[in-house]
Amino acid sequence: MITIQDVAHRAGVSAMTVSRVVNNQARVALATRQRVQQAIKDLGYVPNGLARGLLQGRSRTIALVVSDISNPFFTLIARGVEDVAQRCGYAVILGNSDETVEKERQYINVMLENRVDGLLIAPAGRGSRKVLDSLKQSGTKFVLIDRHVEGIMADLVEGDNVAGARQLTAHLLSLGHQRIALVNGSLEVSTARDRLLGYQEALQAVGIQPDLVRIVGNSYKRESGRGAARELLLLPDEQRPTAIVATNNFLAVGVIEALRESSVRVPEDMAVVCFDDIELASALDPFLTVVVQPARTFGTLAAQFLIDRLRGEEDIAPRRVILPPELSVRASCGARLRRPPHG
Amino acid sequence: MITIQDVAHRAGVSAMTVSRVVNNQARVALATRQRVQQAIKDLGYVPNGLARGLLQGRSRTIALVVSDISNPFFTLIARGVEDVAQRCGYAVILGNSDETVEKERQYINVMLENRVDGLLIAPAGRGSRKVLDSLKQSGTKFVLIDRHVEGIMADLVEGDNVAGARQLTAHLLSLGHQRIALVNGSLEVSTARDRLLGYQEALQAVGIQPDLVRIVGNSYKRESGRGAARELLLLPDEQRPTAIVATNNFLAVGVIEALRESSVRVPEDMAVVCFDDIELASALDPFLTVVVQPARTFGTLAAQFLIDRLRGEEDIAPRRVILPPELSVRASCGARLRRPPHG
DNA sequence: AAACTCTGCGTTATCGTTAACACTTTAGTC
DNA sequence: GACTAAAGTGTTAACGATAACGCAGAGTTT
């Protein structure tokens, strides 16, 4: 491994001078600078970030902890984060909590060991409060993405989940549906609670009892959506819903898989709507009616907030940004005749 | 920041003893060990990975550089990498090259500064050779994922792109298509070259001139697919293809968007097939006929290879694993009647 | 009881970089 | 020409952890 000493020796200067050249500081004679740069090139010197980080107390690295990067929603967030981080000279370390507080805790710990300068977290649940509290206490900067946690005051970028769920439900109501079921993730997660609320509000506003709620234990997983839909199909005809609101894309896919299994047509026999778009799927076939959240913006904003803090905005009050979702009406709600999807 | 010294002081021992406790080494009396553990807990001590890394010459971090994490193919790779890395105690730093050699070079450099122990790279093109050579020379371990580079001997996990393209093309031939176009990414990338080859082989085997090739400049982007398809549609009827092989999922989506624009039905008026599944889209509606690559396995295998090397298998000859793709026949090729997609 | 072994701990030096300070030399001022 | 200022460079000491070695005391062997 080539060190700054090696470069210094080759260029006939001290390590300090090399350091100054590397960091573009003034007070180095042009000739010296060029000699050093040549030596750096010759030897292929790459500064040791660990040593620098140790000394300066920062690593120019941030962490991103989400539940599952393979969910397109989080993928887009990651992409947004990455773009901003890169522009600002930060590297991004990734972690998947799989909606588990314990795995989340482990990851955060690893990241603290790696001395990330700050973290972006989509907390796995209310149980995340403990870790977040300890982060707070240790003065580690972090920003919450997509989900809040009761009692944790921190920068936050999330969607308006109540309004989104209200919109989805109201849209189904406007199409004449009366028995609308909700397939929801674990209420550990704030988005699930808020989406439940929006659903309830919309139904109560028109005097319907919101009792067709299925809350799956394993938050936001495809398999859970399948199970919930199967249950709903077992209901006697007069109780069976005519429409389903899935509170995220994974659940919706599971729901649709279960419906297909039982030869229930969408939207003819059952309308289905959900949160969060699946971008490529929609491009291929604009089928699923969803409320789209600006996921990439979640990422860029959150990263920006974090980096702002790292750059010294210590004591500004936490910022909370709530981005509005947008209803995208497509085929699966039955709002319009199903058109030939491809062509 | 709490250091090992602070803990040592509180527990009434030397830093060395604390270090031994933290690293689970023997030769510490039980009573002492417990006292130290208590102190660690009390103070909330987290070992400083930078310091440790500096001393030991490794960071327990690996890098993953792909062209675009928002492509589901790479997302799955990332997920696979992450799983293995986590189990083996490594953190993963992510980078998107956007198919640009220059951006790739920058990322790799940042990662070298961060002293990653090794890298997983899906190289942006032939131009990546330079960086990879210098990695090689500096003794940095890396594994190529999904793409090889002429002249670079390194561990490699990729798909059988020639066979995959051959299968796709042969399948279209078996359905009676004679004029089959290829919409391909930049030949900078090995997958594009191999897929072109497979396409040519399949056509030449039945005596058809493979001349309906569109190679887009901007490798594997949706917009490029759209442009290429538009061009194909401008051809006079007797030259216009009746089927299109897109060499990746993004291109296929673009192609289909362009076809829809012009009210060309898929598969009735134009068959479309491509490389790489879009998992959620297929679950929602098994529409696109594709050859599926085991992307997640790409990730787990490559990560495993890298970590094996890091653990000391210095001088084993580079391993090259070529995983077979699997043809998944669905609607877009017209192989079977279009069935009602949802229900 | 002398010689050895093993346990349980501490000391010292080091990883690569840079902040803070110190030292020359040259240029500029009166 | 003495004095100050600035430019250009070097020295020293730290950042936090641990490898290598050292050393006291208890236990074991001969």
- Span A242-294, pLDDT tens digits: 999 999 999 999 999 999 999 999 999 999 999 999 999 999 999 999 999 99
Residue nearest to nucleotide D14 (CA to C1'): A55
Q: Which of A46, A278, A340 sits opposite B281 (nearest CB)?
A: A278
Question: pLDDT tens digits for A44-98?
Answer: 999 999 999 999 999 999 999 999 999 999 999 999 999 999 999 999 999 999 9
Percent of chain B residues topping a pLDDT of 90: 91
For residue B337, the model assigns a pLDDT of 47
Q: Which of A113, A287, A340 sits opposite B342 (nearest CB)?
A: A287
Q: Are B284 and B251 in contact (CB under 8 A)?
A: no
For residue B340, the model assigns a pLDDT of 46
Q: Are A232 and A244 in contact (CB under 8 A)?
A: yes
Question: pLDDT tens digits for A114-166?
Answer: 999 999 999 999 999 999 999 999 999 999 999 999 999 999 999 999 999 99
For residue B342, the model assigns a pLDDT of 54
Residue B264 phi, psi (nearest 5): -90, 120
For residue A339, the model assigns a pLDDT of 47
For residue B212, the model assigns a pLDDT of 78
| 3-state secondary structure labels for all residues of chain B | CCCHHHHHHHHCCCHHHHHHHHCCCCCCCHHHHHHHHHHHHHHCCCCCHHHHHHHHCCCCEEEEEECCCCCHHHHHHHHHHHHHHHHCCCEEEEEECCCCHHHHHHHHHHHHHCCCCEEEECCCCHHHHHHHHHHHHCCCEEEEECCCCCCCCCEEEEECHHHHHHHHHHHHHHCCCCCEEEEECCCCCHHHHHHHHHHHHHHHHCCCCCCCEEECCCCCCHHHHHHHHHHHHCCCCCCCCCEEEECCHHHHHHHHHHHHHCCCCCCCCCEEEEECCCHHHHHHCCCCEEEECCHHHHHHHHHHHHHHHHCCCCCCCCCEEEECCEEECCCCCCCCCCCCCCC
| Chain B interface test: which of A60, A141, A280, A298 (most B C-beta within 10 Å) | A280
All domains of chain B, ordered by start, with CATH? 4-47 (1.10.260.40), 59-159+294-325 (3.40.50.2300), 161-292 (3.40.50.2300)
Q: Which nucleotide is nearest to A33 (CA to C1')?
A: D8
Residue nearest to nucleotide C9 (CA to C1'): B17
Question: Looking at CA atoms only, how far is residue A204 from chain B in angstroms?
Answer: 30
**Eight-state DSSP code of residue A218:** S
- Between chains, do A284 and B280 touch, taking CB under 8 Å as contact? no
A227: helix, coil or strand? helix
| Average pLDDT of the residues of chain B | 94
Q: Which of B138, B265, B281 sits opposite A343 (nearest CB)?
A: B265
Enumerate the residues of chain B whose CB falls inside 8 A of the CB of residue A277: none
- Between chains, do A268 and B76 touch, taking CB under 8 Å as contact? no
* Amino acid (1-letter code) at residue A184: N
Position A207 pLDDT exceeds 50: yes
For the segment B336-343, the average pLDDT, to the nearest whole number, is 51
Lowest-confidence region among A106-110, A167-171, B82-86, B336-340: B336-340
For residue A186, the model assigns a pLDDT of 94
Question: Looking at CA atoms only, how far is residue B34 from chain A in angstroms?
Answer: 21
Distance in angstroms: CA B124, C1' D17: 38
B340 compared with A237, residue with greater pLDDT: A237
Question: pLDDT tens digits for B183-193?
Answer: 999 999 999 99
Instruction: In chain A, count H helices and then E strands.
Output: 13, 12
Q: Are A96 and A110 in contact (CB under 8 A)?
A: no
Q: Where residue A316 falls among pLDDT bands split at 50, 70, 90?
A: confident
Position B313 pLDDT exceeds 90: no
Question: Looking at CA atoms only, how far is residue A100 from chain B in angstroms?
Answer: 14
Residue A61, CA distances (Å) to A50, A76, A187 in order: 11, 19, 32
Q: Where residue B312 falls among pLDDT bands split at 50, 70, 90?
A: confident
CA dist., res. A40 & res. A22, Å (int) = 9
Q: Where residue A340 falls among pLDDT bands split at 50, 70, 90?
A: very low
Distance in angstroms: CA B7, C1' C14: 22
Position B226 pLDDT exceeds 60: yes
A291: helix, coil or strand? strand
Distance in angstroms: CA B80, C1' D23: 50
Enumerate the residues of chain A whose CB falls inside 8 A of the CB of residue B43: none
For the segment B135-148, the average pLDDT, to the nearest whole number, is 96
Residue B205, CA distances (Å) to A166, B33, B153, B194 in order: 58, 73, 32, 16
For residue B147, the model assigns a pLDDT of 98
Evaluate if the CB of A31 falls below 7 Å from strand D.
Answer: yes
| Nucleotides, chain C, CB distance < 7 Å | 7-12, 14-20
For residue A214, the model assigns a pLDDT of 84
- Between chains, do B283 and A112 touch, taking CB under 8 Å as contact? no
Residue B295, CA distances (Å) to A221, B46, B78, B159, B278 in order: 20, 35, 9, 9, 11
Q: Which of A44, A78, A95 sits opposite B69 (nearest CB)?
A: A78
For residue A338, the model assigns a pLDDT of 47
Q: Where residue A306 falls among pLDDT bands split at 50, 70, 90?
A: very high
* The two three-digit tokens of residue B153, written as one number: 């001997």
For the segment B38-47, the average pLDDT, to the nearest whole number, is 97
Q: Which nucleotide is nearest to A20 (CA to C1')?
A: C18
Position A341 pLDDT exceeds 70: no
> Which among A63, A198, A61, A193 has a CA at the least distance from the CA of A121?
A63
Position A336 pLDDT exceeds 80: no
For the segment B316-337, the average pLDDT, to the nearest whole number, is 91
Q: Which nucleotide is nearest to A31 (CA to C1')?
A: D8
Question: Looking at CA atoms only, how far is residue B23 from chain A in angstroms?
Answer: 13
E strand intervals along chain A: 61-66, 91-96, 118-121, 141-145, 155-159, 180-184, 213-215, 243-246, 271-275, 289-292, 320-323, 326-328
| Chain A interface test: which of B19, B69, B70 (most A C-beta within 10 Å) | B70
Position B336 pLDDT exceeds 80: no
Position B63 pLDDT exceeds 70: yes
For residue A342, the model assigns a pLDDT of 54
For residue B96, the cross-strand partners are: B66
Enumerate the residues of chain B whose CB falls inside 8 A of the CB of residue A264: 343
Distance in angstroms: CA A196, C1' C13: 62
Question: pLDDT tens digits for B157-172?
Answer: 999 999 999 999 999 9
- Between chains, do A260 and B69 touch, taking CB under 8 Å as contact? no
Find the residue in B nearest to A48 (Cα).
B113
Q: Which nucleotide is nearest to A45 (CA to C1')?
A: C16
Enumerate the residues of chain A whose CB falls inside 8 A of the CB of residue B332: 342
Residues 21-50 of B with CB under 7 A from strand D: 22-23, 45, 47-48
Find the residue in B nearest to A249 (Cα).
B280
For the segment A194-212, the average pLDDT, to the nearest whole number, is 94
For residue A211, the model assigns a pLDDT of 85
